[in-house]
Amino acid sequence: MRRQLWQRLIVAGTGLLAAGILGACAGGDQGGGPGAGSQSSAPVPADAAFNAADVAFATNMIPHHQQAVEMAKLAATRASNSDVKDLADGIAKAQDPEIETMAEWLREWRHPVPPTTGTDSSHGGMPGMMSNEEMKNLTGATGPDFDRTFLQMMIRHHQGAIEMARTEQREGQNPEAKTLAESIVTDQTAEITEMQSLLGKL
């Protein structure tokens, strides 16, 4: 009899303990207190957090990059200096994938993605952007004249991109966006140095 009584007590205690554990888990998913969200069984992606600065960075840098790519692709048929052609090709190959990356962020963040074509002076408020007239002049240039004009314009363009990227580094929240901003500062600073060197040789 005593053995049966102990068995019943053990079973009852186990049931109460299980109910308590389930209740605690259910309560943890309700939120309402500091750290409550950490009780959720669904993992939160590392890139889920973003703020207005991240959105502005991606939204503005997309057309900024697009114009740089447009300028760079002109070099294939207009530049006369092989180093200028190689530099321009590298710029296009680096910035095209970054455009798609930033567009994907905006889609994930439920924000509009800028048009993928047609950069013009409506974006002139962004640092380093060329006007329609400047783009027309570059398009009409060939040979050494194109080489010089391209390098001068792309240096200004890169300086503008670096300014925008540094704003993201200071004010942004999304870790992936801040990492891209850091890469833009590093890579385009190096390219500016290379372009200045090329200008001195033309």
Say what the pLDDT of residue 124 is: 52
Q: Are residues 31 and 75 in the same domain?
A: no
Residues 6+ apart with CB under 8 A from 38: none
Q: Does the residue 47 lie in any domain?
A: no
- Domain housing 127: 52-201
- What pLDDT score was predicted for residue 123? 55
pLDDT at position 14 is 41
Instruction: Say whether both 32 and 94 belong to one domain.
Output: no
- How much is the pLDDT for 118? 52
Number of domains in the chain: 2
Q: How far apart are CA 79 and CA 76, in angstroms?
A: 6
CA distance 103 to 85: 27
Whether 182 and 169 have beta carbons less than 8 Å apart is answered as yes
The count of other CB atoms within 10 Å of the CB of residue 105 is 23
Which pLDDT score is estimated for 125? 75
Q: What does the pLDDT profile of the chain (202 residues) look like in tens digits?
A: 434 433 443 344 444 333 343 333 333 333 333 333 333 334 435 456 999 999 999 999 999 999 999 999 999 999 999 999 999 999 999 999 999 999 999 999 999 999 866 555 455 579 999 999 999 999 999 999 999 999 999 999 999 999 999 999 999 999 999 999 999 999 999 999 999 999 999 9
* 144 and 169 assigned to the same domain: yes
Rounded distance between C-alpha atoms, residue 60 and residue 126, angstroms: 8
Q: What is the DSSP string of 16-30?
A: HHHHHHHHHHHHHTT
Same domain, 63 and 30: no
C-alpha torsion angle, residues 19, 21, 24, 25 (rounded to 10): -110
CB 175 within 8 A of CB 113: no
3-state class (DSSP) for residue 135: helix
Q: Supply the pLDDT for residue 20.
A: 40
Say yes or no: 58 and 144 in one domain.
yes
> Model pTM?
0.74
